[in-house]
Structure 1
Amino acid sequence: MDLLKKYIEVRNHSEEICKPLQTEDYVVQPIVDVSPPKWHIGHTTWFFETFILKPNMEKYEEFDPQYNYVFNSYYETVGVRVIRTDRGNLSRPTVEDIYKFRRHVDNAMNEFLQKPLTKELEELIELGLNHEQQHQELLATDIKYILGNNPLFPPYKFEVGKSQNNIQTKNNDFLKVKKGIYKIGYEGDDFCFDNELSRHEVLLQDFSIANNLVTNGEFMEFMDAGGYKNFNYWHAEGWDWVKTNNINSPLYWHFINGEWFNYTLQGLQKIALNKPLCHISFYEASAYASWKGMRLPTEFEWEIAAQQFEWGQRWEWTESAYLPYPGFSKAPGAIGEYNGKFMVNQQVLRGASEVTPEGHSRITYRNFFHPHLRWQYTGVRLAQ
């Protein structure tokens, strides 16, 4: 891999995602899970300054020592930081200052990447690039939440990833997979995250899994049948979530003059019935599966079956809790905080979405979120 070329491509794409924004859009944090876009731009820059340049580039001049406090996300090893809920309260540094910070670091990285590097440094830089691609997807979803909760429903006017025209036309058949011992996890020499390791064997029973994702129209049938009002389909925690938050539809859906609309990156539009369902929680995914007399696949079933169906339009909820694979071990230092510390109280999602950066998905990729979250591009594939 040409690291310098890849570095420039990834860094430029983050800025492309932000181009349609007004300055005011950069600073909003409507909920704890959504970070202001300017924070993403600063945090991804902080990563390269903190883990690459400061410890490895001779005579590197830190842009501003206070930025370590502002842009550290969750790395206890690196020091104290602004708590997540307060990221939207910071009027300073300004958007202009953060882009100056970005130019400063990029100029130093461009120089640094033209010199011979150790394998360890190359791997750390590649991790940093994949980390930034994760934040590119978060940028897209956070921007959508910021604009989608504005009463004007302003369109975003920029295609951040794959085509938005992801209409399903195939039949709704189920693939059958026979009982057996299968190998799970990443195998190869290219990049993967540590939570995809180590490769190991699992025993799967006979199962079937849908060729297609659940569509908006299919989920609307669940709603019309009173799915959000019948506790029988819900986990107890999910039912409490529905009642406490008055949930009666997926995120971004609005019932206006007798019709359902949803907010998209192109603005408020009528629900496309044959488009894959999006922005639902694990609770909703599980309740829908229960209503259909089915279930969600485990992440292991998904990984084996996904070799036979198309995936990548939605992050797909699975029945699997986010736990370490056999032989998993955390790296030393701050990098070891990257995945392992989150292996509790979260569900695994598989696949990718229409806002996942190109080249940033694998059949072994393990995404993970708390079961109530739905601001990501999350959908449902049924199993039985």
Structure 2
Amino acid sequence: MTDVTEILTEAPSGFEERSAEQLRDHAALALTRARERSTALTDAVDDEDLVRQHSKLMSPLVWDLAHIGSQEELWLVRDVGGREPLRPDIDDLYDAFQHPRADRPSLPLLGPAEARQYVGEVRAKAFEVLEKAPLSGRRLTEAAFAFGMITQHEQQHDETMLATHQLRRGEPVLHAPAAPGRRTGSLPEEVLVPGGPFLMGTSVEPWALDNERPAHEVDVPAFFIDTTPVTNGQYFEFLDAGGYDQRRWWSDAGWEYRTAHDITAPRFWRREPGGWWRTRFGVHEPVPADQPVVHVSFYEAEAYARWAGKRLPTEAEWEKAARWDPATGQSRRYPWGNEDPKPEHANLGQVHLSPAAAGAYPAGASALGVHQLIGDVWEWTSSDFAGYPGFAAFPYREYSEVFFGPEYKVLRGGSFGTDAAAIRGTFRNWDYPIRRQIFSGFRCARDAEGV
């Protein structure tokens, strides 16, 4: 009998077959798509809104815009291209580690017009570099990694800016078609994930970031996981049962946070005659029962899971449910397979401005039949953020390593505000367990004793 550990493999990325020119075209398209989104998010409001801080949790939109340009200049223009600095005088202003978000409005930031001019000049230089840079010989440039890293950085800030828009007061300025409804028949409440080893992380995905590496074998006992993320309708039941008022469902830290801040429902929700309503990008509307719950903290997710007689999945459980194909022993790039995300697979890229209904993307289900693991809502896991065995910081410690530790919980899967260029089955997000302004939801798991 063949030992399953001998056939565990990782799906190829597809980059191996691309020529240098194809890589350049791919990188240029990815950079362009990211800039189009940044432009749309900042052009949607006037200059007064761009420089205003809509929440102390967030930077002014104009800071995010110039920061995007600053990072692009540092890595693509100066490092990869070896070009002279355009604006060395602003390096410190846009160093995220030097200035907390709450303090950024008091800095001498570039104004809207100057910021737009700066990022445009940087992009022109970056494209010049892309045309000539060898895409081999350095780890930073192999398979156009630096350009992929900067694309992902910009898309991550675009999602941050989208979260700022959600915190903004005033008339709606962002518009998108409604997210799709359910496209499946009845689904089982949960799916059994058999016990055994699988390959977690990646060593072959060219644009994977340092905390996703290296691929390593993890043995996961059998468990059940929810087929879809927890929906608003399911969360209504927790609220109606007095879940926020009963200490027994909450951890010590969670209860302290809930009571200190008088949290009684997901952020942006309000109880009105006839039911629950929410504010979504300036639109006041009834909370749709069939969509995944969003804007909940880790502590709220943890309390719901305990009330439901379950728990949050570990990060390894989440990834096994998403990537492992029992028929081949291979870890897929995405739940549905190895091809890049398409619109039928997942709710990504700000195409819609809310999660889609549970069961809306049957084509995106995993090999085991777990739905909507990519897109819709970031999913809290029970795991602290830490490096994998053999982790090596690259290309700088501040991307991942400085955040390792029990202060941060891992989120997986991306949201409706995450771009396809910035998500995959191995991608890891992390945040403080109190965070609610992010597009965060969850699904539950439970042990499968004796299976």
TM superposition score normalised by structure 1: 0.90
> In the alignment, what sits opposite 2:10?
none
> In the alignment, what sits opposite 1:5?
29
The Cα shift of 1:101 comes to 0.7
- Aligned-partner SS, 1:85: helix
Deviating runs (4+, > 6 A) in structure 1?
none
Considering fraction of residues, name the structure with more helix.
1
Question: Which amino acid counterpart does residue 129 of structure 1 have in structure 2?
Answer: T
The Cα shift of 1:35 comes to 1.6
- Aligned-partner SS, 2:91: helix
- Cα 1:223–1:189 change in 2 (3 A) is closer
* Residue 148 (structure 2) pairs with residue 126 (structure 1): yes
> In the alignment, what sits opposite 2:410?
348
CA contact (8 A) 2:63 2:109 kept: no
- Aligned-partner SS, 1:186: coil
* Residue 116 (structure 2) pairs with residue 99 (structure 1): yes
Q: Which moved more, 1:27-36 or 1:206-215?
A: 27-36
- Cα 1:106–1:259 change in 2 (3 A) is same
The Cα shift of 1:117 comes to 2.5
Q: For the residues of structure 2 that align with 1:55 and 1:278, how far apart are their CA atoms?
A: 39
> In the alignment, what sits opposite 2:179?
164
Match of 1:144 among 153, 166, 174: 166
1:45-124 equivalence runs, <5 A:
45-57=69-81, 60-62=84-86, 64-74=87-97, 81-90=98-107, 92-119=109-136, 120-121=140-141, 122-124=144-146
1:138-287 equivalence runs, <5 A:
138-145=160-167, 147=168, 150=169, 152=170, 154-159=171-176, 164-165=179-180, 170-265=186-281, 267-287=283-303
- The runs of 5 or more residues in structure 2 that have no matched partner are 1-22, 323-365, 447-451
- The runs of 5 or more residues in structure 1 that have no matched partner are 75-80
- Aligned-partner SS, 2:48: helix
- Cα 1:314–1:238 change in 2 (3 A) is same
CA contact (8 A) 1:186 1:364 kept: yes
The Cα shift of 1:301 comes to 0.8
Q: For the residues of structure 1 that align with 2:381 and 2:183, how far apart are their CA atoms?
A: 21
Percent identity reads 30
The Cα shift of 1:8 comes to 2.3
Question: Which amino acid counterpart does residue 96 of structure 2 have in structure 1?
Answer: S
- Cα 1:88–1:166 change in 2 (3 A) is farther
CA contact (8 A) 1:168 1:212 kept: no
The Cα shift of 1:321 comes to 1.0
- Cα 1:272–1:108 change in 2 (3 A) is same
> In the alignment, what sits opposite 1:326?
389
CA contact (8 A) 2:151 2:421 kept: no
Q: For the residues of structure 2 that align with 1:179 and 1:56, how far apart are their CA atoms?
A: 45
The Cα shift of 1:24 comes to 2.0
- Aligned-partner SS, 1:70: coil
Question: Which amino acid counterpart does residue 124 of structure 1 have in structure 2?
Answer: A
**Which digits, 9 at most, give the CA deviation of each residue in 1:105-147, with x for residues without a partner?**
12212222221324333322221111111111111112212x2
Q: For the residues of structure 1 that align with 2:204 and 2:293, how far apart are their CA atoms?
A: 33
* Residue 409 (structure 2) pairs with residue 362 (structure 1): no
TM superposition score normalised by structure 2: 0.77
- Cα 1:168–1:262 change in 2 (3 A) is farther
Q: For the residues of structure 1 that align with 2:182 and 2:379, how far apart are their CA atoms?
A: 17
**Which digits, 9 at most, give the CA deviation of each residue in 1:261-287, with x for residues without a partner?**
101136111111111100000000000
CA contact (8 A) 2:66 2:110 kept: no
The Cα shift of 1:65 comes to 3.1
Question: Which amino acid counterpart does residue 315 of structure 2 have in structure 1?
Answer: E
